[in-house]
């Protein structure tokens, strides 16, 4: 996950730039990160997991709130950028692979899925949702662009599929994106 066509597209984007969505410089991205971190809260989180960490911009902001942070990325060039961005952090583990197949047996008390779900197929979201249902022990935070995508799903449809497995989330709507919180503590 994601499928070969999406992997090729994302690989091409990261081959052209280590920051294809301007995560480091965009005012929109900065506002989205601030809203995400506000909802996540100060922590500390014992074992956090970010699936689809991209170039590590958001992960670098999240890492100080975590006892340990595991980052997963399936695009090698994006993972290389994330490793560089988080080099000073001793509490970070990197997994280059696809979720959930390459995930080790974790019990994360925080899972972050930022702008990743709509790159997956419905079947892949189902597999990931089942892994999260079995393994997540805290909150799952899903951040999604709400505009049109060039993918099979948009952010709203992707959340609906995940909610079919994890239950209805608490939703916070913003200009251009939504943040959904799934509580797995109960």
Instruction: Give per-residue pLDDT as tens, 33-65.
Output: 999 999 999 999 999 999 999 999 999 999 999
82 with 94: CB under 8 angstroms?
Answer: yes
Q: Is pLDDT of 143 > 80?
A: yes
Q: Is pLDDT of 15 > 90?
A: no
99 with 124: CB under 8 angstroms?
Answer: no
Q: Which two tokens stand for residue 176?
A: 């251009």
Q: Which residue has the higher pLDDT, 106 or 5?
A: 106
Interval 87-138: pLDDT, tens: 999 999 999 998 888 988 899 999 999 999 988 999 999 999 999 999 999 9
Q: What structural domains and CATH numbers belong to the chain?
A: 4-183 (3.40.50.150)
Distance CA(114)–CA(88), nearest Å, equals 22
Sequence-distant (≥ 6) Cβ neighbours of residue 49 within 8 angstroms:
69, 70, 71, 72, 103, 106, 108, 110, 111, 112
125 with 151: CB under 8 angstroms?
Answer: no
Residue 180's CB is within 10 A of a number of other CB atoms, namely: 25
Q: Which two tokens stand for residue 92?
A: 């970070």
């Amino acid at each position: 996950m994601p499928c070969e066509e999406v992997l090729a597209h994302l690989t091409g984007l990261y081959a052209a730039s280590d920051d294809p969505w301007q995560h480091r410089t965009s005012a929109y991205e900065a506002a989205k990160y601030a809203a995400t971190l506000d909802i996540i809260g100060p922590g500390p989180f014992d074992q956090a997991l970010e699936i689809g960490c991209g170039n590590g911009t958001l992960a670098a902001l999240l890492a100080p709130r975590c006892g340990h942070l595991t980052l997963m990325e399936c695009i090698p060039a994006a993972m290389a950028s994330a490793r560089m961005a988080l080099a000073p952090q001793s509490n970070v583990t990197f997994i280059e692979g696809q979720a959930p197949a390459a995930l080790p047996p974790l019990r994360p008390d925080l899972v972050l899925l930022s702008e990743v779900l709509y790159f997956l197929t419905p079947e892949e979201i189902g597999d990931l949702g089942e892994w999260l249902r079995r393994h997540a022990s805290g909150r799952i935070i899903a951040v999604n662009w709400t505009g049109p995508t060039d993918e099979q799903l948009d952010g709203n449809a992707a959340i609906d599929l995940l909610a079919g497995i994890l239950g209805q989330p608490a939703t916070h709507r913003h200009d251009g994106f939504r943040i959904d919180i799934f509580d797995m503590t109960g």
